[in-house]
Structure formats: structure tokens, C-alpha cells
């Protein structure tokens, strides 16, 4: 199966390495700046995979087109590539495929994971779909979900979706080889997950406890943390939060029978006459 891989970052590195280990070696890799690990680039060199490194996507359209035509491929696999491919590039292959960590048509766009957390979604998805010039709008090839647990952060959810992404693209490639690939139109409400700006990470304490918990865990390291200001305009960054999506759960033991317990709208700090266990549910 002749394909070119586009992309990188944590998910792209994982998927590309997994594809190679499963025998799906690309004919070429299109690398924007340094979003693929150098060790993976060395592996590509050892396998005689052609690599095109670009620094200006919009100025190097001719280079891209020539690279693709020379390799004579019929498939793209895009994972976390930071640009939308124009029609002149998409039409060069029969199967332009993208992996998106969102339950499209919900959460199209740049930051689907943080958007899902802020909306307190119980699940988030990875979607394998055809690419079009419209962002994340192509027909769906395969989609599956992972649960979002109360103790999850954006990092743990991301890792689940990274692993799911590899499994899904391997299944899609098998379907493509077997002639059992059945694209489906996107159905349902379109929800956008737009690119976030630094000011978007400022905490609004007028929001509910549940919202603030979701807000903080959507912005843990290495993402820009949620923040607030104290006197002197000093920035305070929030690294972790604690709450629950159901009441009566012991969330933290502060020592000397002092505990934090979840309520219907947040938490309560209590002192008890008995020892409690973190995680237990009180009746």
C-alpha cells in the first residue's frame, strides 16, 4: 500500500511508528519543521523512506506536489498536521485520510480534547475520515470512543486516544485492502473546538466547581496552565484540581479526620469522628 505520512507530535509519532511496526511502511513522510521525533526520522532513513521537510507550507506547494507525484502514491495518512491541505494536493491521491481526536461532527478544529472536557463529556472519540478542504468535514471511515473518568486529565485522555487512533487506522487499512471500506456522511450537530489563546486560560471563579475542575484538568502540564492573578499582578498557575461528578465521594484526606467530600454542586470540607477512606462513597 503506497502512502505518504503527514504530521507528527505525540500522536503522529506513535501512529507512524505503529504503522511501520505493523508492516505499513510509507514511501514518504512530509514533515513540518520538527514535529516528528529525530529517532523516528533516523528509522525512516534506515528504511529508505523519503522525507520532505518544509518550513513554509503555503510557499512550498510546488515542492509538495512534485514530491507526491514522484512517489506515485494513492493514499495520504495525516495525523496532527497543522495545515488544511488544498484541493490541488488532495486530488493527487485517491484516499486522503486524516485522524482527528474528536467525535466529529462534534469538536471539529484545533482543540477537541479541551473542548470535550469543558463540556463535561462522558466520552471522547477518535475519528478516521476523508480529508476535504473544509476542516474535519469529510466522510467518516471509522470512529470509536473512550470514557472520560473523573480522575482523568487531558493527558490521560490524550494517551487513550493516541492508542485508539493506531488501532482504528490499522483497521481502516485492512478494510481498504479487503474492499470493505464504507464511508459515511457526518450526521448531527457541528460543534467547533477553536484554537485557544493565552487569555482563554484565565480562571473565572464565578463558574461552578465542576466547570472549574474541568477547566483546570484541560490545561495541565505541558499545556499552558489555568491561571489567576494575586496582588501585585503575580500569576498563580493551577496544576491540579479535585471534585466529583457524583455527591458523597471522599475526595481527599487532609489528616486528623479532616476530609474533602463531594456535594451535588461542588465540595465540602468536613471534620468527622471516624476514619474515612479516599474514594469511598458515603450513603
Q: Are residues 116 and 230 in the same domain?
A: no
Does a structural domain hold residue 281?
A: no
| 237-261 pLDDT per residue, tens | 999 999 998 999 999 999 999 999 9
Q: Are residues 174 and 226 in the same domain?
A: no
Last-in-domain residue among 192, 226, 251: 192
Burial 213-246 (b: 16+ CB within 10 A, else e): bbbbbbbbeebebbbeeeeeeeeeebeebebbee
* 279 torsion bin: left (phi>0), alpha (psi -120 to 50), beta (else): left
First to last CA, the chain: 58
pLDDT for res 67: 97
The one-character DSSP state at 202 is B
Q: Are residues 149 and 211 in the same domain?
A: no
Last-in-domain residue among 175, 192, 209: 192
Q: Which domain holds residue 224?
A: 198-238
Q: Are residues 80 and 58 in the same domain?
A: yes
Q: Are residues 91 and 178 in the same domain?
A: yes
Last-in-domain residue among 171, 192, 213: 192
Q: Are residues 148 and 216 in the same domain?
A: no
* Residue given cell 482543540 in the structure block: 111
Element holding 9 (H helix, E strand): helix 9-21
Share above pLDDT 70 across residues of the chain, in percent, rounded to a whole number: 100
pLDDT for res 166: 98
pLDDT for res 274: 93
| 191-239 pLDDT per residue, tens | 999 888 889 999 999 999 999 999 999 999 999 999 999 987 889 999 9
Share above pLDDT 90 across residues of the chain, in percent, rounded to a whole number: 90
Does a structural domain hold residue 278?
A: no
Q: Are residues 40 and 99 in the same domain?
A: yes
Mean pLDDT of 46-55: 95
pLDDT for res 198: 86
Q: How far apart are CA 160 and CA 15, in angstroms?
A: 13
Burial of 89 (0-12, 13-18, 19+ CB in 10 A): buried
Mean pLDDT of 95-123: 96
3-state helix, strand, coil split of the chain in percent (to 5) is 30, 25, 45
Work out the widest C-alpha separation in the chain, in whole angstroms.
76
Q: Are residues 188 and 206 in the same domain?
A: no
Question: What phi and psi values does residue 160 have, to the nearest 5 degrees?
Answer: -60, -40
Does a structural domain hold residue 166?
A: yes
CATH number assigned to the domain comprising residue 121? 3.40.50.170
pLDDT for res 28: 97
Q: How many folded domains does the chain comprise?
A: 2
Q: Are residues 182 and 214 in the same domain?
A: no
Does a structural domain hold residue 138?
A: yes
Handedness of CA 135, 139, 142, 148 (dihedral sign): positive
Does a structural domain hold residue 258?
A: no
Does a structural domain hold residue 245?
A: no
- Residue 29 C-alpha cell reads as 513522510
- Residue 45 C-alpha cell reads as 532513513
Which of 86, 61, 64, 57 shows the shortest CA–CA distance to 4? 64
Bridge partners of residue 236, in order along the sequence: 228
| 114-137 pLDDT per residue, tens | 999 999 999 999 999 999 999 999
Angle at 195 between CA 3 and CA 216, to 5 degrees: 115
Q: Are residues 113 and 220 in the same domain?
A: no
Q: Are residues 139 and 214 in the same domain?
A: no
Chain mean pLDDT for the chain: 95
pLDDT for res 232: 78
Does a structural domain hold residue 50?
A: yes
Q: Residue 4 in 3-state DSSP?
A: strand
| 152-172 pLDDT per residue, tens | 999 999 999 999 999 999 999
Mean pLDDT of 177-190: 96
Instruction: Report residue 34's pLDDT band, with 50, 70 and 90 as the boundaries.
Output: confident
Is residue 96 within 8 Å of residue 131, measured between CB atoms? Answer: yes
**How many residues are given for the chain?**
283
- Residue 251 C-alpha cell reads as 475526595
Q: Are residues 17 and 130 in the same domain?
A: yes
Q: What is the dihedral of CA 273, 274, 279, 283, to 10 degrees?
A: -80
Mean pLDDT of 25-36: 92
Amino acid at each position: 500500500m503506497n502512502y505518504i505520512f503527514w504530521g507528527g507530535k505525540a500522536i503522529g509519532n506513535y501512529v507512524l511508528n505503529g504503522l511501520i511496526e505493523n508492516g505499513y511502511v510509507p514511501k514518504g513522510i512530509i514533515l513540518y519543521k520538527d514535529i516528528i521525533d529525530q529517532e523516528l526520522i533516523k528509522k525512516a532513513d534506515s528504511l529508505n523512506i523519503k522525507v520532505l521537510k518544509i518550513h513554509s507550507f503555503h510557499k512550498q506547494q510546488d515542492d509538495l506536489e512534485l514530491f507526491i507525484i514522484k512517489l506515485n502514491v494513492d493514499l495520504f495518512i495525516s495525523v496532527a498536521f497543522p495545515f488544511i491541505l488544498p484541493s490541488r494536493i488532495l486530488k493527487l491521491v485517491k484516499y486522503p485520510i486524516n485522524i482527528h481526536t474528536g467525535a466529529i461532527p462534534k469538536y471539529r478544529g484545533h482543540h477537541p480534547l479541551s473542548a470535550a472536557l469543558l463540556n463535561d463529556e462522558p466520552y471522547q472519540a477518535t475519528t478516521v475520515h476523508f480529508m476535504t478542504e473544509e476542516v474535519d468535514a469529510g466522510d467518516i471511515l471509522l470512529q470509536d470512543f473512550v470514557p472520560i473518568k473523573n480522575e482523568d486529565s487531558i493527558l490521560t485522555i490524550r494517551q487513550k486516544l493516541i492508542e485508539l487512533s493506531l488501532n482504528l487506522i490499522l483497521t481502516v487499512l485492512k478494510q481498504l485492502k479487503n474492499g470493505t471500506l464504507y464511508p459515511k456522511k457526518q450526521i448531527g450537530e457541528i460543534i467547533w473546538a477553536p484554537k485557544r489563546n493565552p487569555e482563554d486560560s484565565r480562571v473565572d471563579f464565578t463558574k461552578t466547581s465542576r466547570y472549574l475542575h474541568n477547566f483546570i484538568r484541560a490545561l495541565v502540564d505541558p499545556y499552558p496552565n489555568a491561571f489567576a492573578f494575586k496582588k501585585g499582578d503575580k500569576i498563580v498557575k493551577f496544576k491540579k484540581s479535585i471534585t466529583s461528578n457524583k455527591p458523597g465521594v471522599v475526595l481527599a484526606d487532609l489528616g486528623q479526620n479532616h476530609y474533602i467530600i463531594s456535594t451535588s454542586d461542588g465540595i465540602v470540607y468536613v471534620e468527622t469522628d471516624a476514619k474515612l477512606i479516599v474514594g469511598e462513597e458515603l450513603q
